[in-house]
Structure 1
Amino acid sequence: MSNELRETNGLAILTAEMKEVILASPFIALASVSKKGEPHLIVVGKVKQITDDSHLVFGVYKMEKTRENLAETGCLQVVVVSGKIGYRFTGKAVAQNEEVRFSIQEVAALL
């Protein structure tokens, strides 16, 4: 598979390399934003699941402010880094029960 980013239905399509970096990243940063524009950054251990080529699922441990922000704006950025390769994913997310489901709309390479 090519490492060139593709898009379908307004969602980014993850490449094999992006998936490898997501799964290998020891910690993942999640940044949400409130309706007042106040950012909130947290760090989680791992992604719970890559459900398809455009969606990530995170398990919820507390995440009270993140859940509140997602209910208000739905905006989320996710940063993953493994070795010298990193990505920033931007998109929409929703907290449902004990999961945060994230739809990736944009990808930016880091490092």
Structure 2
Amino acid sequence: MVDRVTVTEEALQLMNTLKEIHGSLMFHQSGGCCDGSSPMCYPNGEFRIGESDVLLGEIGDTPFYMSKDQYEYWKHTQLIIDAVDGRGGMFSLEGPEGKRFLTRSRVFTGEERSELAKES
């Protein structure tokens, strides 16, 4: 099985810190408005998910969503959620922690694209 979204150890550590403070979490990949295109972290259920959103998978037992429109641009890539020093998005939970989540990506290989096509 090919993961559409993965997570680095640094991001998992930040997620664990946030879970201790806020309980279970969820992510939604921002489409660019106020916070650029950052992965936004919320308490689970705080961000309204609708028919226009796609569940890409889970990272650290945490659901990760993206809008269908944005997914059309990113569907050929694997998202890698990382954490780096700096200020997070103004609406994302990590802001006060002095770190921010960051989306990195890589293009799926031909073999991975074939596998994903079978899953659809």
Using the size of structure 1 for normalisation, the TM-score is 0.34
Using the size of structure 2 for normalisation, the TM-score is 0.33
- Name whichever structure is richer in strand by fraction: 1
- Name whichever structure is richer in helix by fraction: 2
